[in-house]
Structure 1
Amino acid sequence: MGSTGGGLGGGAPRVKKQFLTALGSLVVIGILFAVYGSPIIERRYLKEAEVQGATTLRLAVAALDGHLRRFEPLPALIADQPAIEALIQSPDDPVLRHATNLYLSGINALLKSSDIYMMTMDGETIAASNYDLPTSFIGQNFSYRPYFQEAAAGAQARFYALGTTSARRGYYFSSPIEIGGRILGVIVFKVDIDTIEASWVGGDSRIFVSDPEGIIFMTGTPEWLYSAILPLTPERLTRTRASRRYSDAILRELPVAERQDDGHRLLTVTDPGGAREYLATSQPMPQAGWTVTVLTDTVSARAQAQTAVVVALLSLCLAGLGLAILMQRRARLAERLHLQAEAREELERRVEERTADLARVNHRIEEEIAERRLTEQQLRQTQADLIQAGKLAGLGQMSAALSHEFNQPLAAAKTYADSAAVLMERGRLEEASDNVRRISALIDRMASISRHLRNFARKPNEKLGPVALDEVIRDTLEIVAARLKTADADLVIAMEEPPPLVKAGSVRLQQVLVNIITNAADAVEGLPERRIDLAVRREAGRVVLLVRDRGPGVPAAIRERIFDPFFTTKGIGKGLGLGLSISYNIVKDFGGSLSVDEHPEGGALFRIELEEVAAEVGQAAE
């Protein structure tokens, strides 16, 4: 044992030194990675963001270019139409003007463009697709627009501007109206591009289109509209105002700072929400004279880079933790070998002590088992006494109605007996014999009631077997008939044919039904609707008895306690609170279940589930 301790004494410092050396190496690696590796990872994620931005940019440019190309050849085609040529040669003819207005309106609706209009060489509009609108171009002069000036000089022209009349943005295509080698007018198409701009709203990237002066005229960020990403120098403002490209719109500089970082173009935009950095990717559209720019928020890329760095550092930490665990296990292994020898001796000593303790415990357990068996017998006897007490309590509650049931036939029998004596004195023997038969029937009726009450009151044995439900229900009716009559309640029975057999005890099942039907009679007594339904049906190899009343029902607050012993909602002296508790335990002893719920149409619904047995099995006495 001494040599083992010495080995441990020399091994622990050595393991500790190795651990500190390895831990120091991991710390150095982590610092180097954080200093030199983090920028590399950040540039990698910025590159991925730039590639995604370039893809978005190509899609945006393709959508814009495709949308504009649809309308580019149309002005020249319409300029050659007979209606256009006729009106440009006779611009003051009202009939030709009206016909051309209708023609342009129809073409505009067919092509789903914004507006189509034609002008004379002095820039006055003489026909337009919006001739019948308050914002009609007819009579307006657009000679200051570059698209008019270029078309009047004989060229196909393009121009983007904010309409001075309609106050709507659009892209203009113009073409000269040439007849016999002479240019007599200009035809113009205005295309609405709001649909493309609307598709940019709410995306992951911010997209905008700027003109040659750096002014944003299309963007998915409405607050950037008519903002300049280049300084608004006097020269730029003069060129913009000369063409009235943006009408009366207020132009302002977008608070933006641009810088280059390892080949990436980064823009920092300051707005009321704070400054945000974006990765910018741009592509010119030479034919339109536009520049399309896609801004990708760098927050996501930098966050991903930081996450990657954190994950790498955590991995190093986990490696250090694994190394620490390994070192600790090596130290503990040596210690465990030493402790095992001591533990073996201690174990042998404790085994002897535990053996003696187990002997004493076994003796106490045997005594407790005997006590529990005695207690269980006493509990069963108590339960049987409670069941009997519940029966007797039920009989006591029915005593007034039962006395009425006995008094009525007794009074009738006395009347028939007195009448029979008088009839016999008068020699009317046949009528007297009929009275005697009536008396005999009344006596049989009282004997039947008495027999059912006697069977209900006696203590049953524990034997279970097949019980015919129709017979149990019939005997139950004999007992509860008086209570139903007192409550003026109707019991409606619905049973499947043939009547099912269930595993139960007939007298105890009868007691359950008496308790539940009596409670139902109490619930409906004095109410306008005093109907009680008893339904019997088969469900998946089980027999279900449903007893529903039209009373106030069982509130959810007491539904969980209604089967507790001595719990009752009746007044003092009207119940012991044992009926439903006894019924619950009886059904449970049968291997079934008893529950209560609220019927959807009102009233309480008691549900009894019992096991169905085959019809050929003999009946079991109880």
Structure 2
Amino acid sequence: MGKRYLSALVGFILIGVVFAIHGGDIIKARYLAEAATQGGTTLRLAVSALEGHLKRYEALPALIADQPDIEALILQPDNLIRRHSTNLYLANINALLKSSDIYMLTMDGETIAASNFDLPTSFIGQNFSYRPYFQEAAKGKQARFYALGTTSAKRGYYFSSPIEIGGIVRGVIVFKVDIDVLEASWEGGDARIFVSDPEGIIFMTGSPHWLYHSILPLTQERIDRTSASRRYSDAVLKPLPFTERVEDGHRIMSVAEAGGTRDYLVLSQSMPDADWTVNVLTDTASARAQAQTVVIAVLLVLCLVGLGVAILMQRRARLDERLHLQEAAQVELERRVEERTADLARVNTRIEEEIAERRATELQLRQTQADLIQAGKLAGLGQMSAALSHEFNQPLAAAKTYSDSADVLIERGRLEEARDNIRRISALIDRMASISRHLRNFARKPNEKLSGVALDDVIRDTLEIVSTRLKSAQAEIDMSLPRDIPPVLAGSIRLQQVLVNIITNAADAVEGLDDRRIELTVDVDEMVHIRVRDHGAGVAAAISERIFDPFFTTKGVGKGLGLGLSISYNIIKDFGGSLSVANHPDGGAVFTISLMAATGQVGLAAE
């Protein structure tokens, strides 16, 4: 035994030496991978924000170029009245769209109308024929370009579109979009974000002192191409002081800053449409510090374990002296253990019998609960069936009248009128079949898979089922449904059962009151919320926490088992949503059903 402890102590020492040599690199690589994952998330968010901001304005130049006022001015560029009205039109559009500037150029590049016509930095009279966005649009193409304004000295992204009349390009319309808001959101974050153009020049960054620095060598060829388009006006271009290397499969950029050199993990993604490259730099100092902390912690643990092994070796020697004294006691202990084992065997037998009885009782209880739930549903169905009985009597009486009348009409040879009676009888039969179908679907147990359910169809079928109860309570339904409600993840019949239960409860709450309105609204954010509000007395605070408990009811004897809301709560929970109740500030109770929107196509599962 002593040799075993000695071998373990030597093993811990060897593990500590190996870990001190190689463990730091392994742990550092792991933390760098985590930093790369976080940086990737930041990169995707930044790219999505940029693309979303630019796509808002992409199609607008072409739309405005087709406006009659724009075409009229380009045909008569010297008409001062048209110039003034076009200036006002562009200013209104610019304010509405919250863009930076909108202006209109003739084929020689001269600005004849602009949204900033009344500002000191107005573009009117300026010639922008040197800009690539003008040159491309003058050829009949849609164009994009990022640059520093030569007149406004403000950075922006330009969208341009040709003004075509009769298939001939007569001028160019230009949108300038301000992206300073996006850039401001990058400041002060954990990661440094910057965007570079094809020449490697940084023109957007959350670190203002990096602006107009290049991450590629500033060759004369690159400088000449940038100067030709006057992309950055008179801004001074400088190289960014950095070096780059690959470490554990990751790009690491070392940037010389005022406080010394800092290492960043670099992730990049190109935006082909804008001809940009978005870069996210994550400081590696945190990852390296975490790796060092873990290495120190592991070494301390190994030292503690080694110390424990040494203590055990010392104690082992003392324990050997006591072994002889314990042998006699061990014999007595074994005898007592055998006695206790026999006792425990008898106790275990009794416990197993009790467990078997409890399991049988639990199974019986679950079956009873399931039967009660179904009984509650059938009791509710019985109440609805009684209320709907006259809905069948009226069509049957009408069908009998139409049938007798058709017989008389046929005898008199008035066949067309007899056919009309037969069509009326068929419509009455369809109505009774519809009521019967909804009643049958409500009564049976569901057997469905969750899928996308069209909410407006479910609401329509629900109102058909509860129409009789609403009439008996003299209640009215006020609905407010938005257009294009997304399908929800649910089961159509079970969701219908929930709505029938809640609307029926609302009818009970307003019956006999002056205000018998029931409001049904739907709104959509991250989830789809269905709200049913009555104008009754609301839900007392004492019962609000128990309202969804099984068998809890505030109705009189014989008017319900108290299972409706409990069943509804569990149905919505099965859908991955929630069912809640609150009191409206203006009175009455509000039941809210929150469901997840379905991402796939709408499909109703069998029930």
TM-score, normalisation: structure 2: 0.52
Distance (whole Å) between structure 1 residues aligned to residue 141 and residue 39 of structure 2: 36
1:244 to 227, 230, 241: 230
SS of the residue corresponding to residue 161 of structure 1 reads strand
Q: How many angstroms apart in 2 are the aligned matches of 1:129 and 1:273?
A: 45
Per-residue Cα deviation, 1:188-227 (whole angstroms, up to 9, x for no partner) = 0000001111111111111110000000000111111111
- State the match for 2:118 in structure 1: 132
The partner residue of 1:152 within 125, 138, 141 is 138
SS at match of 2:305: helix
Name the structure 1 match of 2:311: 325
In structure 1, the residue matched to 2:102 is 116
Kindly state the Cα deviation for residue 125 of structure 1 after the two structures are TM-superposed. Answer: 0.5
- Distance across 2 between alignment mates of 1:273 and 1:121: 52
Select which of 54, 57, 80 maps to 2:43: 57
1:156-199 per-residue CA deviation (whole Å, 9 max, x = no partner) reads 00000000111110000000111111111110000000111111
Alignment of 1:193 with 2:182, yes or no, is no
Partner of 2:162, secondary structure, is: strand
Choose the corresponding residue for 1:294, options 271, 276, 280: 280
CA offsets, 1:518-551, max 9 Å, x none? xxxxxxxxxxxxxxxxxxxxxxxxxxxxxxxxxx
**2:253 maps to what in 1?**
267
SS in 1 for 2:121: coil
Give the whole-Å Cα distance in 1 for the aligned partners of 2:35 and 2:247.
14
Q: 1: CA distance between counterparts of 2:249 and 2:7?
A: 41
* Corresponding residue for residue 128 of structure 2: 142
Q: 1:79 & 1:132 partners in 2: Cα distance?
A: 22
Q: Give the distance between the partners of 1:220 and 1:108, measured in 2 at CA.
A: 27
**Which of 206, 224, 227 is the aligned partner of 2:192?**
206
2:23 maps to a residue whose letter is G
**CA-to-partner distance for each residue in 1:73-98, whole Å, 9 max, x for gaps?**
00000001111111111111111111
The percent of aligned pairs where both chains have the same amino acid is 73
Structure with higher Rg: it is 1
The equivalent of 2:264 in structure 1 is: 278
Report the count of equivalent residues: 324
Distance in 2 between residues matched to 1:85 and 1:77, nearest whole Å = 12
Q: Distance in 2 between the 1:325 and 1:98 partners?
A: 95
Structure-2 residue corresponding to 1:559: none
Q: Describe the SS at the equivalent of 1:214.
A: coil
State the alpha-carbon separation in 2 of the partners of residues 282 and 150 from structure 1: 28
1:605 corresponding residue in structure 2: none
Superposed CA deviations along residues 297-353 of structure 1, whole A, max 9, x for unmatched, are 11111222222222221211121121122233335557999xxxxxxxxxxxxxxxx
- C-alpha displacement at 1:261, in angstroms? 2.1
Q: Deviations over 1:439-463 (max 9, x none)?
A: xxxxxxxxxxxxxxxxxxxxxxxxx
Provide the residue aligned with 2:556 in structure 1: none
Partner secondary structure for residue 72 of structure 1: coil
Which of 57, 64, 67 matches 1:81?
A: 67
Amino acid at match of 2:103: Y
- Residue in structure 2 matched with residue 27 of structure 1 by the alignment: 13
Q: Secondary structure at the match of 1:171?
A: strand
Aligned with 1:311 (options 280, 294, 297): 297
Matching residue of 1:461: none
Letter in 2 for 1:177: I
User: What is the SS of the residue equivalent to 1:47?
Assistant: helix
Shift of 1:22: 4.4
Alignment map for 1:92-491 (pairs within 5 Å): 92-331=78-317
1:69 and 2:55 correspond = yes
Q: Deviations over 1:552-575 (max 9, x none)?
A: xxxxxxxxxxxxxxxxxxxxxxxx
Task: Measure, in 1, the Cα distance between the counterparts of 2:5 and 2:142.
Answer: 81
What per-residue deviation string (whole Å, max 9, x for no partner) do you get for residues 12-68 of structure 1? xx96x8876544332211111122232222212111111111111111111100100
Distance across 2 between alignment mates of 1:256 and 1:18 = 55
- Alignment RMSD (CA, Å): 2.0
* In structure 2, C-alpha distance between the alignment counterparts of 1:233 and 1:172, rounded to whole Å: 26
Q: Which amino acid aligns with 1:182?
A: I
Q: 1:328, 1:169 → 2: CA distance?
A: 76
Distance in 2 (alpha carbons) for counterparts of 1:252 and 1:275 = 18
Distance, in Å, in 1 between the alignment partners of 2:8 and 2:67 is 88
SS in 1 for 2:17: helix
SS of structure 1 residue aligned to 2:274? coil
Choose the corresponding residue for 1:90, options 73, 76, 79.
76
Task: Give, in whole Å, the separation in 2 of the partners of 1:83 and 1:204.
Answer: 49
Gaps of at least 5 residues in structure 2 are 324-607
Distance 1:205 1:158 in 2: 28
Q: Partner amino acid for 1:301?
A: A
Q: How many Å separate the matches in 2 of 1:202 and 1:334?
A: 66
Deviates more, 1:327-336 or 1:28-37: 327-336
Using the TM superposition, give the Cα deviation of residue 293 of structure 1 relative to its aligned residue in structure 2, in angstroms. Answer: 0.7
Q: Distance in 1 between matches of 2:134 and 2:8?
A: 80
Give the Cα–Cα distance (whole angstroms) in 2 for the partners of residues 186 and 152 of structure 1: 7
